[in-house]
Amino acid sequence: MDYLLFLLLLVPLIILSGWASAKVNSTYRAFDEVVNSSRMTGYDTAVRLLARGGVDDITVNRVGGRLTDHYHPAKKQVNLSESTYGSASVAAVAVAAHEIGHVMQKKEGYLPYKIRAALVPIATIGSRFALPLIMIGILLDLFLFAATGSSAGQWIMIAGIILYGASTLFMLMTLPVELNASSRAKKMLLEEGIITEEELPGAKKVLSAAAMTYVASLLIGLVYFLRYLFIVLSFTRRD
């Protein structure tokens, strides 16, 4: 029954995730055909907003792919995809401004951004080793507990679920960080005259569609975390 419940929760969320990904692509395509009134490209927008924020140690680069835009704080780089870098569309400047929003979060010490950044190392470890640790702990517990009464396997499972929880917490903190970056982007674009009030709804739609992918990922991550937590608790409950 618990596995059935897990599937009943997971399947709609997988559908939601697929829909969100498709929505991002279709929305970006729609507003990538709308040239912004300032005629500024994604690159122009990033450079201008960095100057506006008094940031002079970040480089703006072009990277391959479509919608592969990201901010790399360690390398002090804002990397814009080919679909964003040279395009003067409403969609392109919205995405570029979003990445500058992350730069400003770091500069201003935005708390959720700082928490998310602090979680990166443990979340990276958790994404690689949490599930193997849980599986190893289960196997050890099945053999050791039955033969010797040892709870070593349970402790390994607990370590695994803690790491998985850290990865889930990272995804949880990602959502407010992304939403805040989008809010900053819309404000900066208007204040700098890069887009007009009439063009703002298009930028909002692009950024909102992107946010839905993070919501779907978070919900799927939470369902998996609760599933693994239930499994671990079912073993430790014997004690």
154 is in which domain, residue-wise?
Answer: 2-236
The whole-angstrom separation of Cα 74 and Cα 93 is 24
Q: What is the model's pLDDT at position 143? A: 78
Beta-strand ranges (E) seen in 64-118 are 70-72, 77-81
Confidence of residue 1 (pLDDT cuts 50, 70, 90): low
Count the domains in the chain: 1
Would you name the residues annotated as active-site residues? 99
Tokens, residue 116: 């998310």
Q: Residue 181 is encoded by which pair of tokens?
A: 């970056």
Percent of the chain with pLDDT over 70: 96
The distance of Cα 131 from the centroid of its chain, to the nearest Å, equals 20
Residue 239 has pLDDT above 60, yes or no: no
Radius of gyration of the chain (CA): 22
pLDDT beyond 60 at 238:
no
pLDDT for position 231: 85
The pLDDT of residue 217 is above 60: yes
pLDDT at residue 150 is higher than 90: no
Q: Which of 49-53, 96-100, 232-236 has the lowest mean pLDDT?
A: 232-236
